A and B are shown apart, each in its own frame.
Chain A
Amino acid sequence: EAEVAQSPRYKITEKSQAVAFWCDPISGHATLYWYRQILGQGPELLVQFQDESVVDDSQLPKDRFSAERLKGVDSTLKIQPAELGDSAMYLCASSPFRSGRRTDTQYFGPGTRLTVL
């Protein structure tokens, strides 16, 4: 069964350093999401892509976070500089359907657990 791949699985960094996370969605999935999940909370959407275009980045702290999906396949989420409050699980999800059709099932990857010291 196809799965969403993410790397690294764990990342420990010091504050003010730069970190990057990678996501490879299920093949053929047009929509890709990046979520942040703080311990004890539900996932919170950071950014949504359809193909290579950003659909929603209203919750992305753009002063330090950036995301790209240049060829409409895999995606990178970057934080620079990292802050203590960024410690969380960063989840990537993908969905086969295109924006504007309907809210569809999202398939989550295993996540990257970030610890900022």
Chain B
Amino acid sequence: GQQVMQIPQYQHVQEGEDFTTYCNSSTTLSNIQWYKQRPGGHPVFLIQLVKSGEVKKQKRLTFQFGEAKKNSSLHITATQTTDVGTYFCAGPQGGSEKLVFGKGTKLTVNP
């Protein structure tokens, strides 16, 4: 079945450094969603990308959907301690609406 791979699995940065996580799908995606899960919390929706090559920004967060719609990235500029958490990408499986989540990238930020 469809797989969604995320790298890296863990990332530790100093506050103020940039951070990027990458998401790759084994199949073309109609759209991709990103979620953030704080330690001890639940996933919270960040954004959905639909168009090939789409780039969206939310303050210090930049999301990109690849031209082939098989990969995506999330970049955080100048990380802050509030960015700590696990970032998941998720894409619909095949022609269904079932979301397949990646294993996530766990970000820790050293103040």
Binding site for B on A (CB under 8 A): 40-45, 48, 55-56, 91, 93, 99-100, 102-111
Contact = CB atoms under 8 A, between A and B. Distances in A.
Contacts of B41: 110
A1 B31 CA distance: 26
Majority secondary structure of chain B interface residues (helix, strand, loop or mixed): strand
Contacts of A45: 98-99
A52 to B, nearest CB: 18
Given A103-B92, A103-B97, 20 more contacts: A41-B103, A42-B101, A43-B101, A44-B101, A45-B99, A48-B98, A91-B42, A91-B43, A93-B43, A99-B97, A102-B97, A103-B33, A103-B48, A105-B48, A106-B45, A106-B99, A107-B45, A109-B42, A110-B41, A111-B42
Contacts of A43: 43, 88, 101
A109 B33 CA distance: 17
B80 interface: no
A103 B103 contact: no
28 contacts: A40-B103, A41-B103, A41-B104, A42-B88, A42-B90, A42-B101, A43-B88, A43-B101, A44-B101, A45-B98, A48-B98, A56-B96, A93-B43, A100-B97, A103-B30, A103-B31, A103-B33, A103-B97, A103-B99, A105-B45, A106-B33, A106-B45, A108-B43, A108-B44, A109-B42, A110-B41, A110-B42, A111-B42
